[in-house]
Amino acid sequence: MNYTLPMNSRGHRGFVGFRVQDPTGQDKRAPLALRRASYDADHRPDAKTKERIAGLRFSVKGDKELPDILDGFTSADQLTPAVSAALVDGLRSVIGDVADFIPVPNLWDEHTDAPYEGPPYYFLNVLQWINGWDADRTDISAMYGKDGYMVAETLQSGTPVVNKDAVGDAVIWRDSRTRDLVIADPVKEVLETFDTASVWYRDLEI
């Protein structure tokens, strides 16, 4: 089984992101709401995050048919990307219960300046976190804040190497060190059968 990191080409004509806004104008930090979300021990959004997200607006340009993935795969935002209802069904068939699909609230169509009337979308929140990199063969760099504490670890140059003994038969997970979303062939095959043209895949070694 092969593994890859799904990535997004934001300049691709098929890429559609969303803008996060507070319709009341009071929450000036609304655009960072997903990045600053907080979670329970089981990696599900906590009550504070759920309440905040419920009051925000997620705006898309709806002047064309939306793809099956909105926004991008990123290590910074655990609740991205958002996926279509059809893709939810496809993913569930291969990943089982290791992810939650959380409805995107208040999806807004910037083209009509009205609520989006198409099928619903769901935040993909992977609950399975694994320390899955081969530390001896993968270049990982630590980032430190002003107080000297480590705030993040990120993949550097070269091809990351998966520790097969650590991941076992998992087909999707977030790495517990770098927070990257990693997928195996069965998940990649599902993604490739949907409208995900802006997604590309960074190959990994074993």
Question: What band does 64 get if pLDDT is binned at 50, 70 and 90?
Answer: confident
Instruction: Please answer whether residues 17 and 59 qualify as being in contact, where contact means their C-beta atoms are separated by less than 8 angstroms.
Output: no
Give the list of residues 6+ apart from residue 178 with CB closer than 8 angstroms, or none: 75, 133, 140, 152, 153, 154, 155
Question: What band does 157 get if pLDDT is binned at 50, 70 and 90?
Answer: confident
148 Rama sector, left if φ>0, alpha if ψ -120 to 50, beta otherwise: left
98 phi and psi angles, rounded to 5 deg: -90, 10
Residue 121's beta-bridge partner residues? 84
Mean pLDDT of the chain: 91
- The 10s digit of each residue's pLDDT in 12-35 is 888 898 899 998 888 888 888 888
Among candidate residues 144, 154, 169, the one with its CA nearest the CA of residue 5: 154
CA distance 45 to 41: 9
The pTM score is: 0.92
CA distance 39 to 50: 10
pLDDT at 75: 79
Among candidate residues 121, 103, 10, 114, the one with its CA nearest the CA of residue 66: 121
Quick check: 11 pLDDT over 90?
Answer: no
202: DSSP letter? E
Quick check: 63 pLDDT over 80?
Answer: no
- The 10s digit of each residue's pLDDT in 100-149 is 999 999 999 998 999 999 999 999 999 999 999 999 999 888 887 777 77
- How large a percentage of the chain has pLDDT more than 90? 69
- The 10s digit of each residue's pLDDT in 164-184 is 999 999 999 999 999 999 999
